[in-house]
Amino acid sequence: MRELEIPMPDTPETARDRRLARLAQLDPRPELLSYGPDAIQPALKAWLAARGEPSYRVDQIVQAVYRRRVDGWKSVTPLAKGLRDELERAFRFPSITLAELRESADGTRKYLWTLVDGEAVESVMIPSARRDTFCVSSQAGCALACAFCATGMIGYKRNLTVGEIVDQVRHLQRDRELAGHGANLVFMGMGEPLLNWENLRVALELLVDERYFDIGARRITVSTVGLPDRIVALAEEFPQVRLAVSLHAARDEVRDEIVPINRRYPLRQLLAACRLWCESTGKRMTFEYLHLPGVNDRPADVAALGRAVEGLSVQVNLMRYNPVPGADFRRPTAAETLRFRDALRRATRVPVTIRRSRGLDIEGACGQLRLARGGSMVEGISAE
């Protein structure tokens, strides 16, 4: 498979992300939660054996970390204090620290996490009667600069490590376990997940593995603005994981302006990858479409979306634009979005639904994540 040619930091393996490399200087301990599913137990077993500890200690640690979701080594109480102290010196755990929790009037919770280098990310928990939705981040900031997105205005800081990705899930699971709810997991937080492919891939392996997180792959959705090669790779490696594409426009001249990555990967390439994904997985995908009045809701836009969905197993998830300071768009009225939905239904003959915005009062809705603490921006360090 051809490697994507994107002029921006990608994965730690390429040595192009200096910020990730700097983490080892800040804290040289290996990050426990970044071990892949087949590596963590051998690593712990070897470390314990070197200290004369029995192998069953591995199961005790794994149960505490992934099942009981303890908040640090001090809480792995089946182990003696001396051994816990040694583990603290040997392995970095946990990977993220809660800086602030804000709760919306509708019950949505937004979590602000600080990372070991002083950068920050957010994740969101959207409650429902039976099954919550966890919205997690894959990067600190984002390089893609979509015109309507607060995260894109921050700019790119760095990729998240595997541990920083899965620790968001671990914390949210612990926060909600008393509710007795199941959870859907969506990679729709800060960053472009497919630009952090290697770390996302290992994180997905951990999340679906029954020994660790044991989240059904059908409960996981990866959202992307449209990186064709990586969409195909996702289908090949995780055919049960769901795909959502942030389309937002079906005409190149419009999408070029509001989703700049379209200038590198135009719609013909993106739609071809979507068709390959549908054929390979046999599943229905989702097009996310943010309603921007006067920008992407003209008759030509409706007709173009009708052509784009031909031959695709797809549903359209229509969203009203959520206000972002500094973005020059207007939030449509409910009536405007209803009329637009009806026009799309007539033109596309595919399911078109309107997603209700949650967490607007805490800037936790789609496109609003911008590291706001009590209304003020949080500044991360510059890790050059």
Using the 8-state DSSP alphabet, how is residue 297 labeled? -
At 188, phi and psi to the nearest 5?
A: -130, 20
Q: Catalytic annotation on 366?
A: yes
Question: What does the block give as tokens for 88?
Answer: 């603290």
Q: Which contiguous run of DSSP H or E holds residue 182?
A: strand 182-187
Q: What is the pLDDT of residues 112-125, one digit of tens each?
A: 999 999 999 999 99
pLDDT, residue 307, reads: 96
Cα(66)–Cα(212) distance, integer angstroms? 5
**Angstrom distance (rounded) from CA 226 to CA 326:** 24
C-alpha distances out from residue 170 to 174, 232, 248, 326, 361, Å: 6, 28, 31, 33, 25
Q: Any catalytic annotation for residue 149?
A: no
pTM summary value: 0.89
Nearest Cα to Cα of residue 304 among 263, 256, 381, 251: 251
Report all structural domains of the chain as residue ranges with CATH numbers, in order of start.
Answer: 17-90 (1.10.150.530), 97-377 (3.20.20.70)
**pLDDT tens track of the chain, all 384 residues?**
334 444 343 444 444 456 656 676 788 999 999 999 999 999 999 999 999 999 999 999 999 999 999 999 999 999 999 999 999 999 999 999 999 999 988 889 999 999 999 999 999 999 887 789 999 999 999 999 999 988 888 889 999 999 999 999 999 998 877 556 678 999 999 999 999 999 999 999 999 999 999 999 999 999 999 999 999 999 999 999 999 999 999 999 999 999 999 999 999 999 999 999 999 999 999 999 999 999 999 999 999 999 999 999 999 999 999 887 777 899 999 999 999 999 999 999 999 999 876 545 544 445 444 455 444 333 332 222
Q: What Å distances lie between residue 135 and 111, 150, 267, 362, CA to CA?
A: 10, 16, 26, 15
Catalytic residue among 122, 192, 205, 363: 122
Residue 319: what residue type?
M
Round the average pLDDT of the chain to a whole number and report it: 88
Give the full edge-to-edge strand order of the sheet including 109-114. 97-103, 109-114, 120-126, 131-135, 182-187, 220-224, 242-246, 285-291, 314-320, 352-355
Catalytic residue among 142, 146, 149, 366: 366
